[in-house]
């Protein structure tokens, strides 16, 4: 009799734990929300058809960008329809070259770099991989 009472008590406590713990789907949704990237985190590197992830400067494949970006953008040509982030980035945030240029902006507009230096070229965009050093207190 006492044994049955202990079993009932344990089952009751287990039920409380299960109800208090979110189910796996909720946990996956929360994880996905926490790791969601924004369109602003990426540029499309046109020569390679890869996507530059600005925080790390790594190039990602389009499928990874589509999986990582939670909020898909509206298609500018078809109001009310969503567009894959990789397609949107190809049209709206292309970059044509990568460089390392300490005195330049992160995205350099209307110029390209070649062996002779910078050349004016309307519509071109160059991503500057340079990151200024962190200033440490002390």
Question: What pLDDT digit, counting tens, does each position of 36-73 carry?
Answer: 789 999 999 999 999 999 999 999 999 999 999 998 99
Dist. CA 5–CA 33, nearest whole Å: 43
Dist. CA 130–CA 113, nearest whole Å: 15
Question: What pLDDT digit, counting tens, does each position of 104-138 carry?
Answer: 999 999 999 998 899 999 999 999 999 999 888 87
Angle at 126 between CA 123 and CA 130, to 5 degrees: 155
Highest mean pLDDT out of 18-27, 67-76, 99-108: 99-108
Query: pTM of the entire structure?
Result: 0.70
């Amino acid at each position: 009799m006492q044994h049955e009472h202990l079993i009932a008590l344990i089952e009751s406590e287990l039920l409380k734990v299960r109800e208090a713990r979110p189910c796996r789907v909720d946990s996956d949704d929360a994880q996905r929300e926490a790791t969601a990237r924004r369109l602003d985190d990426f540029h499309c590197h046109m020569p390679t058809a890869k996507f530059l992830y600005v925080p790390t400067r790594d190039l990602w494949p389009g499928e990874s960008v589509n999986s990582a970006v939670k909020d898909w953008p509206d298609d500018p040509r078809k109001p009310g329809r969503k567009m894959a982030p990789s397609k949107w980035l190809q049209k709206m945030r292309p970059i044509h070259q990568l460089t390392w240029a300490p005195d330049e902006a992160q995205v350099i507009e209307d110029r390209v770099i070649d062996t002779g230096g910078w050349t004016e070229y309307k519509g071109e965009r160059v991503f500057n991989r340079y990151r200024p050093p962190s200033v440490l207190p002390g």
